[in-house]
Amino acid sequence: MKVIAATKNKGKIREMQEILAPLDIGIVSQQELGFDVDAEETGDTFVKNALIKARAVAMVCDYPILADDSGICVEALGGATDEDRINKLLTELGDNENRRAKFVTSVAFIMPDGTEITAEGEVKGTITKEPKGENGFGYDPIFLSDELGKTFAESSDEEKNSISHRGRALKNLYDKLKKMN
C-alpha cells in the first residue's frame, strides 16, 4: 500500500519508511507527488495536530495519508515542545536533578473514504547534560533511553526504531488497520 506522509521532515519520513517497510506499507513524501501542503498546528494535543496535518493533505489528494505530531515532555519543565532547541532545553534544566522525560508521538491515518484512525506511542528516559552521538535528529542526542541505556543518537536506526515513540505509534496504528480488514 502506498501512503503519503504529511510531513516535510526527512528524518520522520525515513523513520516511517524503515518502520513500515516490513508491513508492505510504502511511504511517499507529499513533495514526491507534487503536493506542498503546510498546515498550521493549532491543536492543543499531539493527536489533534496530527489530525490537522493529515486532513490538510487529504483535502488535495486521494491517497491514504499518514501524519504525526511528536514532542518531548520534560517533568521538571512541565513539558517542553519540539519547538524548543536542545541548547534552550539544557539551559532551562540547568543542574536540576529531575531530568526525567518522555518522547510522545501521535499518528493520524486517513483513508481515501475519509475514515480516520489515530494511535499513540511513548518512550521514557532522561535528558543528558550534554549531547551524545551522531545519529538521528531533533532531541535524539540528549534523550537517554531507559530501555537502551544510551541516547537515541548513539543508537543504530534499528535499535531506536524498535523502541521509539514513533515506532510504537506506527505499530499501534498497524494493529488497528489489521483489525479493520
Catalytic residues: 69
CB 51 within 8 Å of CB 58: no
Cα–Cα distance for residue pair 52/43, rounded to 1 Å: 8
Q: Please state, in angstroms and as integers, the Cα–Cα distance from residue 120 to each residue in 7, 72, 100, 108, 115, following that order.
A: 17, 14, 20, 9, 17
Contacts of residue 100, Cβ cutoff 8 Å, sequence gap at least 6: 74, 75, 76, 124, 125, 126
- Number of helices (H), then strands (E), in the chain: 5, 6
Residues 104, 70: contact at Cβ < 8 Å?
A: yes
Question: Which amino acid appears at position 175 of this protein?
Answer: D
Task: Please state whether 21 falls in left (phi above 0), alpha (psi between -120 and 50) or beta.
Answer: alpha
